């Protein structure tokens, strides 16, 4: 498995496992990908709240293009269990290496930040922690519990690792009763070896299916990136696989290459193609679909959750 915990220690290099790779050119983004620089007062306030509690966000660590828009509204996606991941995915900008010990105060700090931001819906994600016996499942559950206690009216969406080879870990997180359980498949099965080498496609699919088996009332969600070399037929097969696993909500967004050492962009998918994917996904029975060049798992997650819940109630 392509984890780093046996070969790498702490290092100042953000992606040491990619250092020996040949550079790939960074393609110029088309006009429909461009976003404004984050300069609002709301952005600064969100940043101050996060910094004051020594928290990490996937918005920053993954270089999300929507950070300016989301943080201006005081919407931040918390990334727990540190800023260092034990996987070596070819698409991801999160730092890789040997993580530090878990912070026992982090659940309380996340809950405080959620309350101060006044979030009606929060997304909580994490790095992969293959170094931990339970993959960090108990810590995840503790964070959910702390937010529930501090902000009982806030709905909680979690975006979890796959907990590969961690028996019983998924059940711990499911039993913490988030409102939405999200785990991204990221790409089509054929590309896993090059793009997501530490993961297994059908394990990830089975994780989401297990959520529905354990708690049929819980919403499930998953997403993929396009522009990595997948075919249209492969994307539609992933949709079918997701529906077979009972997944309620699909997100489809454009892959953006973080650095020259990361997987190159195969192509920029046009807005019209995204609209086509959205129509196909809706026809396949997803309760909610978000498909656009700038779609990301947590972008507009609160609004999407409200519509998702309404769509279920209407059936």
CATH of the domain at 45: 3.20.20.70
* Whole-structure pTM value: 0.90
In a domain, 256, yes or no: yes
* 67 contacts 38 by C-beta, under 8 angstroms: yes
Tell me how many domains the chain contains.
1
In a domain, 14, yes or no: no
In a domain, 68, yes or no: yes
pLDDT recorded at residue 5: 47
Low-confidence ranges of the chain (pLDDT < 50): 1-2, 5-10
* 258 contacts 63 by C-beta, under 8 angstroms: yes
pLDDT recorded at residue 308: 79
In a domain, 168, yes or no: yes
pLDDT recorded at residue 132: 98
Helix (H) / strand (E) element for 78: namely: strand 78-80
Q: What is the token pair recorded at 148?
A: 């529930």
pLDDT recorded at residue 61: 65
Among residues 81, 90, 106, the alpha carbon closest in space to that of 2 is found at: 90
Spatial separation of the C-alpha atoms in residues 132 and 143, rounded to whole Å: 16
In a domain, 10, yes or no: no
In a domain, 6, yes or no: no
Q: Is the dihedral of CA 11, 15, 16, 17 positive or negative?
A: positive
Domain containing 217 equals 40-314
pLDDT recorded at residue 2: 46
Among residues 263, 289, 294, the alpha carbon closest in space to that of 276 is found at: 289
Helix (H) / strand (E) element for 49: namely: helix 41-52
pLDDT recorded at residue 207: 98
In a domain, 251, yes or no: yes
In a domain, 4, yes or no: no
What are φ and ψ of residue 222, in 5° steps? -155, 160
């Amino acid at each position: 498995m392509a984890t780093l915990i046996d070969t790498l220690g702490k290092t100042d290099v953000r992606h040491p496992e990619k250092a020996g790779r040949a550079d790939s050119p960074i393609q110029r983004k088309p006009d429909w990908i461009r976003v404004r620089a984050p300069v609002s007062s709301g952005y600064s306030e969100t940043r101050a709240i996060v910094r004051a509690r020594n928290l990490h966000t996937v918005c920053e660590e993954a270089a999300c293009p929507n950070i300016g828009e989301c943080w201006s509204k005081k919407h931040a996606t918390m990334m727990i269990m540190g800023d260092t991941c034990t996987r070596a995915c070819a698409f991801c900008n999160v730092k890789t290496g040997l993580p530090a010990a878990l912070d026992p105060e982090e659940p309380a700090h996340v809950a405080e930040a959620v309350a101060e931001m006044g979030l009606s819906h929060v997304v909580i994600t994490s790095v992969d922690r293959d170094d931990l016996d339970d993959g960090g499942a108990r810590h995840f559950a503790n964070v959910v519990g702390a937010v529930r206690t501090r902000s009982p009216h806030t709905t909680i969406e979690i975006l979890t690792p796959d907990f590969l080879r961690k028996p019983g870990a998924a059940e711990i997180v499911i039993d913490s009763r988030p409102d939405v359980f999200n785990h991204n498949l990221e790409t089509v099965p054929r590309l896993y070896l090059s793009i997501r080498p530490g993961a297994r496609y059908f394990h990830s699919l089975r994780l989401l299916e297990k959520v529905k088996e354990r708690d049929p009332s819980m919403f499930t969600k998953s997403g993929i990136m396009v522009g990595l070399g997948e075919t249209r037929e492969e994307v539609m097969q992933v949709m079918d696989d997701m529906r077979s696993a009972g997944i309620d909500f699909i997100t489809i967004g454009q892959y953006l290459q973080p650095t020259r050492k990361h997987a190159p962009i195969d192509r920029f998918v046009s807005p019209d193609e995204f609209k086509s994917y959205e129509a196909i996904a809706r026809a396949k029975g997803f309760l909610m679909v978000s498909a656009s060049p700038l779609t990301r798992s947590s972008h507009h997650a609160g609004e999407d959750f409200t519509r998702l819940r309404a769509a279920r109630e209407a059936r």
